[in-house]
Structure 1
């Protein structure tokens, strides 16, 4: 796996460097704001590729005394950094393109090299997107998926640049800075998508698409039998795996061995349901008090305390 990731990230850095150089040079030589902006965007991709390169390696380090849960969140941090870089590039491009359009600082672009360069960009970016997205999803590497999404954005940008340059050459000189503005809006949108995609994991939470795990936990508790009032259920992601904390109640006269068998039942069923994507399941066993308790988060303790106080009064 590590060799595959190394090859992908190295290929991304080399490809983005090549594309950035040819587009920036072409944009300067032919005075094209759209092509130059596309080149600048590719320059940010070089930085993001390097960040992904470093993050994927650091996140693969095994757990240690200071990091008992491992280093997988390094990839989420890397994705956050990528979102900030992409956002800055989008804002800078928006301002520059807007000023060009307002001041009417645009000309008809000479030659056909800018069109050819943008076609090359679309081709290579498409290859990069396919490779990075498939590998990122296969090994659940969030920073690699984040870069792939940015690459998908670049494909659209280069396509828009091609159309803008083409229309510019037909006599619509103002299309060049206008395309720059459209590109910047798309870039900023992608930056927000990358940021929000990783916010849940950095906050020790889960993505909305993983909410099904809570219903699965409650169902497992019911299927195992003799388990009452599962509560304080908390789930977070560590890499691709679920880390689960929860409390359950059992009959007060149940032996330690019997209650232990129930916790084993919960863990085994959760492992099967999640296709072995369980980092750990920590279950606290309590004596049954015949009080319905809110199953999620710390509200369970709050509800339980209130019921107990009411009964005592």
Structure 2
């Protein structure tokens, strides 16, 4: 029940992202056209790609709420990771298109059409909105322990910085530095591609059972302090959605009863749950035969 409630809160963060991006994308694409600003237009396409990514994340979060079944013994949590992977491909496609358009505008820019200052105000307004959404989703991601929502929050911060850069480019054009606005459009495309690549790499790392080595070292050190544990032979972990699945092999006194050995295993599980919020820890016990 607690897990389902967390997923529902994560959904709220995705809906906030989608609503914000829809409004900003429409405003930027319209104002970018009216104000003759390549930077604002590119930023609008950036937000459009974020809408697609946020919808993909929302779908993944919804699927991840499905309970375990006969052929998904660990549940459907990794649907969240798959949706992030799909979103990365979508963002990369749009990013490449924006880079191409920005480069073309930079080379063949029409200097007779100076971007209007209105576009700069739109950029600053967008930055303020994105910073607010960033703080909201960052705190929510920490509360519900959602990797997808945390990645979305990072993208919000990136969007805010892009909007600030867009505004700077437009102001620069007012001083007849016409190359700044299309240059910003080009750089925005690069940032879209970089964000897509970062999401792809992080998600691929998780889907191939990559895990933080430092965290494993911490787990091993803490487990070794438990009374009755003579040696920690192995600690492995993997991410299933936003949950950690931990496998531990410990060595204990070979003369212990089964009941006492089981109590030690229970203590390992309790420590991992209390200190690291790990719900699933599999403990394998071996007799310590080393003198």
Normalized against structure 1, the TM-score is what? 0.81
Between 243-252 and 104-113, the greater mean CA deviation after superposition: 104-113
Q: Report 1 or 2 for greater relative contact order, CA contacts < 8 Å, sequence distance ≥ 6.
A: 2
Q: Which moved more, 1:235-244 or 1:30-39?
A: 235-244
Change (3 A) 1:144 1:240: closer
SS at 2:132 equivalent: helix
- Secondary structure in 2 matching 1:223: coil
Q: Distance in 1 between matches of 2:182 and 2:112?
A: 10
Determine whether 1:270 maps to 2:272.
yes
- In the alignment, structure 1 residue 221 sits paired with structure 2 residue 224: yes
Residue pair 1:30, 1:110 contacting (<8 A) in 2 also: yes
Structure 1: gaps (5+ residues): 292-313
Q: Is the 8 A contact 1:221 1:266 kept in 2?
A: no
Partner of 2:280: 280
Check 1:268–1:68 CA distance in 2 against 1; reply closer, same or farther (3 A cut). same
- Structure 2 gaps, min length 5: none
- 1:161 is displaced (CA, Å) by 0.9
Does residue 1:175 correspond to 2:177, yes or no? no
Query: Which residue of the other structure, out of 82, 86, 93, is the alignment partner of 2:91?
Result: 86
The answer to whether the 8 Å contact 1:75/1:141 transfers is: no
Name the CA distance, whole Å, in 1 between partners of 2:112 and 2:134. 33
Following superposition, the deviation at residue 229 of structure 1 comes to: 4.1
Paired position in structure 2 for 1:34: 39
Task: Show the counterpart of 1:24.
Answer: 29
Residue-pair matches, total: 286
SS at match of 2:73: coil
| SS across alignment from 1:286 | strand
Matched-pair contact (CA < 8 Å) for 2:10–2:144: no
TM-aligned CA distance change 1:107 to 1:118, over 3 Å: farther
| Cα distance, 1:43 vs structure 2 | 0.8
Counterpart Cα distance in 1 of 2:222 and 2:16? 45
Equivalent of residue 14 in structure 1, options 4, 10, 19: 19
1:65 matched residue in structure 2: 70
